[in-house]
Amino acid sequence: METVVENSFEFLHELRREADLSGMPLSSQGAGQDVAELIDEAYTLGVLGERFLEGCDRLRVELQPVWTEQPVVKELAITLTADPSGETLTSRFAAGRWLRSCQTTALELREAGVLGEGQTAHSMLLALRRRQPPALELPPLAPPPWSEQPLEALGIRRLADGTLDPDRPVLISQRLVRETIERCEASDTTETGAAVLGKLLRLPQPLPGTSTRFVTVLTALVDDPRHQGEPLSFHFSPAGLADAAQFADVRGLGEHVLTVWHSHGWSKACGNCNQNANCPLAECKPSLQDYVLLESLLSSKATLLPITGRKLGAEGRRPVLRLYAWRGGRLRPIGWQEYVP
């Protein structure tokens, strides 16, 4: 598939002491590749919504900043048009990898004493109009692998608790959900994790309440002693993930290593992490480490990230499993439904 990008801007991300363009920036870097990553996300969103699967010999990409005040970008509108079908999809992005880069830079500046503890660092994306802007190096745009089969082919007998996201339905094995919660509790404040097997299916018909036939099914965890956890961090072994892929082949269900799961810690001492606003353990939200993990090991924008841990205000005295998907340039929580094999 040929991809043509229509773009008149050079993109920069800057870190500043003030939330405007006064003074010199603390840091300034090119953000063209960060924008190219958003094009990949927009394309994947279109594929999962069944927009660009047929009749797409050429994909035209138009980039249009939505200004806070020129040249500061509030959002970036990315419009994809498939030729010759004419199918069009516009997605808006208020975030991207530049925000995470700025967070990392801010931490480094604080450690160096350039930023004081009470000082705020403001990140911003700039779009500078150019007659010949730098070319964007796009990642390969290709649909994720999927199978055309019904849920019964994976041994799914019935659906249970949960609510599906209309444009990104996900089913998770009831056993997998239970295991993540039990392992999070047993591991206490030390993070634990495993590879996650599953399949992307295209069903004969969309599930009730959804708008696409594509359904992601997360089926099983695969442990490996080479994955190592510590309080506030977890490290996955690439070799361990490769062996998990071989294990998936042996199971003979057509599964792949779709993602990884990890916990963010839980205190067995009090068991009140969901209600304690002063709990020092991280909530089950993606960290900067989690973003680095996905972008280095699982770079497809179809990748999901399940995390188990404390969620302030959640009911009960047990850890909570939350599922994150790429939305608007960052990982956001989405709904999912359990299934009974």
Q: What is the mean pLDDT of residues 91-113?
A: 93
Q: Which whole number is the average pLDDT over 6-11? A: 96
Contact 338, 171 (CB under 8 A): yes
Domain 147-340 belongs to what topology?
Answer: Cytidine Deaminase; domain 2 (3.40.140)
* Sheet strands (E) in the chain: 2-6, 9-16, 27-30, 56-69, 72-84, 88-93, 122-129, 147-148, 158-162, 170-173, 193-202, 214-222, 228-230, 233-235, 256-263, 305-309, 320-327, 330-334, 337-340
CB atoms within 10 A of CB 70: 11
CA distances from 109 to 20, 77, 99, 119 (A): 19, 31, 15, 11
* Burial class of residue 83 in the structure, from the number of CB atoms within 10 Å of its CB (0-12 exposed, 13-18 middle, 19+ buried): middle
pLDDT for res 55: 74
Residues 26-62: tens digit of each pLDDT: 999 999 999 999 999 999 999 999 998 877 889 999 9
Question: Which has the minimum average pLDDT: 31-45, 110-124, 142-156, 250-264?
Answer: 110-124
User: Which of 67-81, 88-102, 108-122 shows the lowest mean pLDDT across its residues?
Assistant: 108-122
319 to 223, 235, 240, 270, 332: CA distances (angstroms): 20, 21, 26, 12, 19
Residue 247 above 80 pLDDT? yes
How far is Cα 239 from Cα 246, in angstroms, rounded to an integer?
11
Tell me what pLDDT residue 49 has. 95
197 forms bridges with which residues in the sheet? Answer: 220, 257
Between 217 and 280, residue with greater pLDDT: 217
pLDDT band at 311 (very low <50, low <70, confident <90, very high): very high
- What tens digit of pLDDT does each residue of 167-221 get? 999 999 999 999 999 999 999 999 999 999 999 999 999 999 999 999 999 999 9
pLDDT tens-place string over residues 316-333: 889 999 999 999 999 999
The predicted pLDDT at position 147 comes to: 95
Q: In sequence order, what are the residues at sequence separation of 6 or more whose Cβ sits closer than 8 angstroms to the Cβ of residue 307? A: 261, 262, 263, 264, 284, 285, 286, 290, 321, 322, 324
**What's the CA gap between 39 and 229, in Å, rounded?**
34
Distances (CA, A) of 139 to 38, 39, 42, 43, 85: 10, 9, 12, 11, 23
CB atoms within 10 A of CB 246: 10
**pTM score, two decimals?**
0.95
Judged against a pLDDT cut of 90, whether residue 271 lies above it is answered with: no
Q: Would you place residue 153 in the very low, low, confident or very high pLDDT band (cuts 50, 70, 90)?
A: confident
Q: What is the DSSP string of 269-302?
A: TT--TTT-TT--SPBSS--HHHHHHHHHH---TT
Indicate whether 73 pLDDT > 90: yes
Confidence of residue 134 (pLDDT cuts 50, 70, 90): very high
| 248, pLDDT greater than 90 | yes
As a whole number, mean pLDDT of residues 282-290 equals 94
pLDDT of residue 316: 86
Among all chains, which residue has been given the structure tokens 């965890």? 221
Which amino acid is it at 280? P
**Given phi > 0 = left and psi -120 to 50 = alpha, else beta, which region is 86?**
left
Instruction: Calculate what percentage of the chain has a pLDDT beyond 70.
Output: 100
Q: What is the rounded average pLDDT of the residues 295-304?
A: 94
What does the pLDDT read at residue 118?
79
How far is residue 49 from each of residues 62, 113, 321, measured CA to CA in Å?
19, 47, 25
By residue count, the chain amounts to: 341
The CATH 3.40.140.10 portion of the chain extends over: 147-340
Q: What pLDDT sits at residue 56?
A: 84
Total H helices, total E strands in the chain: 5, 19
Joined together, the tokens standing for residue 49 give 């919504």
Confidence of residue 120 (pLDDT cuts 50, 70, 90): confident
HSE toward the beta carbon, residue 116, CA cutoff 13 A = 2
